Structure 1
Amino acid sequence: MSTKEQSDAEDGHITTLHEPVIIPRSEHGISRGQFSPNALKVLYRLKDGGYEAYLVGGCVRDLLLGLQPKDFDVVTNATPEQVKKLFRNCRLIGRRFRLAHIVFGREIIEVATMRGHHESTEPKKGAKCNISQASEHGQLLRDNVYGTIDEDAQRRDFTINALYYSIKDFCIYDYADGVKAIKKRRVELIGDPETRYREDPVRMLRAIRFATKLDMSISPATAKPITQLADLLANIPPARLFEECLKLFLGGKAEANFKALREYGLFKYLFPGLDKILDAKPGGLEERFITQMFVNTDVRINNDKKVTPAFIFAALLWFPLLKRTEELMQREQLPHFEALGAAMNQILSESAQQVAVPKRFTLGARDIWHIHHRFDKRGGQRAYRLSQQPRFKAAYDFMLLLVDSGQEDLKELCDWWTAYLNADVNGQKMMVKSLGGNNRPRRRRNGGSKRRSSNKAADE
């Protein structure tokens, strides 16, 4: 289903909140047996401590859709400090909005205090906390404003997330016709879309992700401002955009998210170099390569196989890297190897201004690129030594992907390595021997013992 499809009759409709529709246990079909046992512990301890406690958002939505939630989020009228007093296994995180994480081994139950309105930065008399700060673009920088459940519902981003399950009476409280939106399979913002996007531009990415993840459409009113406000993503910290990229590309819907990001003009604020190349060569090798990379990523994720972000970012930055390498070779007359190294440093540094990829993944991307440029060096022990590199398999898959996308000049080399990897030790030795003199390692000619020369040749 297209992320832009929706009936014309609903165009321009803005969703507002109302008194909650209370759905009793007999009508919604959600059972406590579907919850994480740790989430139940948190809910009951908050309730026994004299506080309100609800499951909220995605976990309620997914259960209504017949899906198993990955996370169970809790909302309460207790402040983070009060939550911490109830749980020894609690840690407080967050600056923009303070949260409590209750840690049960590998599972974390996130507990948020009900949010209030933030029209004023002056503390309200008697309020638990009322600290709010916005940028000149309307983006919320600090948002520690606590309130009631009614106010919290108004602060939720999408109607399908303004759903609360009460541990007290086992009812669902629906503040924005979220159940109706689920039945219509529609993603829509609560309130004026432009205002909500300005408060937090990441909501534009979330709208796309929910639409593809849940096989829903984005309502016209929610979709309309996205292209116009896409440049607000430039105000988001690069580290936060990296986390959003992981959600977009490692959730099993990477291909659909990539196409939607391009459709709405958001991709260029994440990967501007690649976006320009794709615009200049529609349907070319570059677009086929990126699309097929995301298709393969989705297949692996949906088959419960691992995908390293290093491979994804190596692919996303590959063609900008080649372009920069060529520019450096022509402009500064650098040899290819030096130009490649300088281009890697520049491309990764520039990319970090938009999406801050952690060093452990950029190092992995570098390894994939370096190995790829050594695939034609196969003489002596080189082929064997290269095949033992930790990132060799990723680099080999990278080359296969380029060939499958239409890079014909790599096909013969790719076929050789495929045969080499499928051969036994004797077969591999014969393959290397049959390459002839062009791939034999050079021996030292500047003196030194025969043993040192022999070792040098083996190392190459």
Structure 2
Amino acid sequence: MQRLIRKVASFFVKGQGQSPIFNSEPKVVPRNKHNISRGQIDKAALDVLYGLKRAGYEAYLVGGAVRDLLLGLEPKDFDIVTNAEPEQIKAVFRQRCRLIGRRFRLAHVHFGRSVIEVATFRGAGDAAKLPVARKKTSHSRAVDASGRLVRDNVYGSIDEDIWRRDFTVNSLYYNIRDFSIIDYSGALEDIKKGQMRLIGDPETRYREDPVRMIRAIRFAAKLGFDIEAKTKKPLYEMGHLLKDVSNARMFEEVLKLFHSGVAIDVFEKLRHFGLFTYLFPQTHHVLSEEEQGFPRMLVVEALKSTDERIQSGKGVNPSFLFAAMLWEPMLQRREQHLAEGLTHQDALYAAANDVIEQQISSTSIPKRFSTQIREIWSLQFRLPRRAGARAQRLFEHPRFRAAYDFLGLRVAVGESSDQELFDWWTEYQKKDAIDQVAFANDVRSEAKKTRKPRRGRNPYRKRSSSNPAE
């Protein structure tokens, strides 16, 4: 991947000269010097770009889409930036447009299922000198006492907007007027070097938005880039700032991290920089106690399975990821409840509630997913009870397939005692409905053969009576 990226990047900078990083004078790469064509850009994004242009506004494709198109990758999103303010954007697209956000005011333009995000150029400024936020206003910018940016609705020009971008490789602009690429920050040079570099002072930028730390991990893993030294150093020291990020936003970021197609690399990088503990503190504790044992193997195998599904274009369920991450913490908590005298079922439910509630303090888990996590766990203890009609009831459970895959995951990393059970359910799914009934009845027959005979009643034993008169 790095060889391909550097080969492609060298094409863009060849013959263009080398601008210093963060030069105020942008490098403009004309159409005949780069490989992006309008045919590669999503039609909805083109409609927005040309709609703003016809209305007399500047409009640029910006960020990751430009980067990915240059590298021959398929962009996930097509974001647009313009000098039109949110209300003006809404006036252009009317019913299609919806304004969202308080911290960052944005416009979402809808084309059926496609949503194009449009932002107004952000104004420049030194975050360290900004006032602490006290009240909500639409056109203002402020930080809180810790330096975190809580409002950024000061609008400006493209020359100012560049300094509000996070990483250089995400700061390229594609100009719809002449199809050129504009590089203010030395992004092309960083792509050529294969490095992630923050724009501005790293510590200040991380304090403004701590999520930039895990974004650095995600982009480095996705692109196969190294993290530049000054951008890397604070990652070891500032992870605690992630505690201040809302757990709802952290949930979305976790999905981006581990549903990126490079989840194993992301996982290793998060642990290397000490950031994993702020995403899954219970799992981190378990892994710290048993670095090379079953818990780590289960997590790695789950991430490997997730990567394979994404890379092959299959869907993924967040519940499966969280079930794998939290399986060992749940088992340990369950053992504690069993020691306290709870029944097996009550101990399982209590442990599931404890672990999920604690995880929610770090990353929120929507109820539909937390319910599915509980079902996947519960079915691990129900799948062995498959005799007779029980097999069909389990097979018809909406979470059966996820539970079966989870059982296979456990077997794959060493739970050999469940190999026979997994093989049985694998065979069961291959049979038609009639053969499934016979197959499950065979389990019942085998169970009767191996069951210990009940002690017979002694016919000479005097029956006790509750009636003292008898």
User: Among residues 420, 431, 440, which one is paired with 2:442 in the alignment?
Assistant: 431
Residues 162 and 438 of structure 1: is their aligned pair in 2 closer, same or farther, counting only changes over 3 Å?
A: farther
User: Of residues 90, 97, 104 in structure 1, which corresponds to 2:111?
Assistant: 104
Following superposition, the deviation at residue 438 of structure 1 comes to 8.3
Is structure 2 residue 62 aligned with structure 1 residue 51?
Answer: no
Shift of residue 379 of structure 1? Answer: 2.9
State which of 182, 196, 201 in structure 2 corresponds to 1:173.
182
Identical aligned residues as a percent: 51
Question: 1:35 aligned to 2:41?
Answer: yes
Q: 2:161 aligns with which of 145, 152, 158?
A: 152
Q: How many equivalent pairs are there?
A: 424
> How many Å separate the matches in 1 of 2:300 and 2:442?
34
SS of alignment partner, residue 260 of structure 1: helix
Shift of 1:408: 2.5
How far does residue 342 in structure 1 lie from its aligned partner after superposition?
A: 1.0
Matched, 1:278 2:278: no
Match of 2:13 in 1: none
Cα pair 2:64 2:75 within 8 Å, conserved: yes
Partner of 2:17: none
Could you tell me which runs of 5 or more consecutive residues in structure 2 were left unpaired when the two chains were aligned. Answer: 3-19, 132-136, 452-470
- Partner amino acid for 2:448? G
* C-alpha distance in structure 2 between counterparts of 1:220 and 1:137, whole Å: 24
**1:62-111 Cα deviation digits (max 9, x unpaired):** 11111222221110111101100010210001111000001000111110
- Tell me the amino acid that sits aligned with residue 243 of structure 2: A
Larger mean Cα displacement after TM superposition, 161-170 or 271-280: 161-170
> In the aligned structure 1, how far is the partner of 2:79 from the partner of 2:70?
15
User: 1:15·1:190 contact (CA, 8 Å) conserved in 2?
Assistant: no
Give the ranges of 4+ consecutive aligned residues of structure 1 lying more than 4 Å apart after TM superposition. Answer: 118-122
1:195/1:430 Cα in 2 relative to 1: closer, same or farther (>3 Å)?
same
Residue 239 of structure 1 and its aligned partner are, at CA, apart by: 0.6
Q: Measure the CA separation in 1 of the matches of 2:271 and 2:314.
A: 27
Instruction: Within 5 Å, give how 1:7-406 maps onto structure 2.
Output: 16-88=22-94, 89-119=96-126, 130-330=139-339, 332-406=340-414
Q: Decide which moves more: 227-236 or 164-173.
A: 164-173
Q: Distance in 2 between matches of 1:338 and 1:429?
A: 28
One-letter amino acid of the counterpart of residue 266, structure 1: L
Paired residues of 2:122 and 2:157 also in contact (CA < 8 A): yes
| Corresponding position of 1:416 | 424
Deviations 1:34-89 (A, max 9, x none): 21222122112212212111111111111111122222111011110110001021
CA spacing shift, 1:422–1:170, aligned 2, 3 Å: closer
Partners of 1:425 and 1:409 lie apart in 2 by 23
Q: Deviations over 1:120-162 (max 9, x none)?
A: 667xxxxx96412212221111111111111110110001111
| Aligned equivalents of 2:313, 2:191: Cα separation in 1 | 27
The alignment yields a C-alpha RMSD, in angstroms, of 2.1
Query: How far did 1:306 drift?
Result: 1.2
Greater radius of gyration (CA):
2
1:317 alignment partner, SS class: helix
Distance 1:153 1:129 in 2: 21
Partner AA of 2:190 in structure 1: A
Task: Tell me, yes or no, if the aligned pair for 2:428 and 2:436 is still in contact at 8 Å.
Answer: no
Deviation at 1:227, TM superposition (A): 1.5
How many angstroms does 1:282 deviate by?
A: 0.9
User: Deviation at 1:426?
Assistant: 5.3
TM-score, length-scaled by structure 2: 0.86
**SS of 2:446's equivalent?**
coil
Paired with 2:395 and 2:443, the residues of 1 have a C-alpha distance of 13
TM-aligned CA deviation for residue 33 of structure 1: 1.9
Per mean C-alpha deviation after superposition, the further-off stretch among 113-122 and 35-44 is 113-122
SS at match of 2:238: helix
Q: CA deviation at 1:169?
A: 2.2
Instruction: Give the counterpart letter for 1:380 in structure 2.
Output: G
Confirm or deny: 8 A CA contact 1:15 1:188 kept in the other structure. Answer: no
Deviations 1:232-263 (A, max 9, x none): 11000011011111111112111111111111
Partner of 1:455: none
Task: Return the alpha-carbon distance in structure 2 between the equivalents of residues 29 and 255 of structure 1.
Answer: 31
Could you tell me which amino acid in structure 2 is paired with residue 153 of structure 1?
I
CA shift for structure 1 position 439: 8.9
How many angstroms does 1:427 deviate by? 4.3
CA distance in 2, matches of 1:346, 1:353: 11
Partner amino acid, structure 2, of 1:301: I
- Which amino acid in the other structure matches residue 23 of structure 1? V
Q: Distance in 2 between matches of 1:436 and 1:220?
A: 63
1:182-231, Cα deviation, whole Å (9 max, x unpaired): 12221111111111111111111111111111121111211111010011
Contact kept, 8 Å, 2:387 with 2:441, in 1: the verdict is no
Q: Mind listing any 5+ residue stretches in structure 1 that lack a counterpart?
A: 3-13, 123-127, 441-460
Q: Residues 118 and 130 of structure 1 are in contact (CA less than 8 Å); yes or no, is this contact kept in structure 2?
A: no
> What SS class does the counterpart of residue 307 from structure 1 fall into?
coil
Kept in 2, the 8 Å contact 1:269–1:354? The answer is yes
**Residues 20, 207 of structure 1: alpha-carbon distance in 2 compared, 3 angstrom cutoff:** same
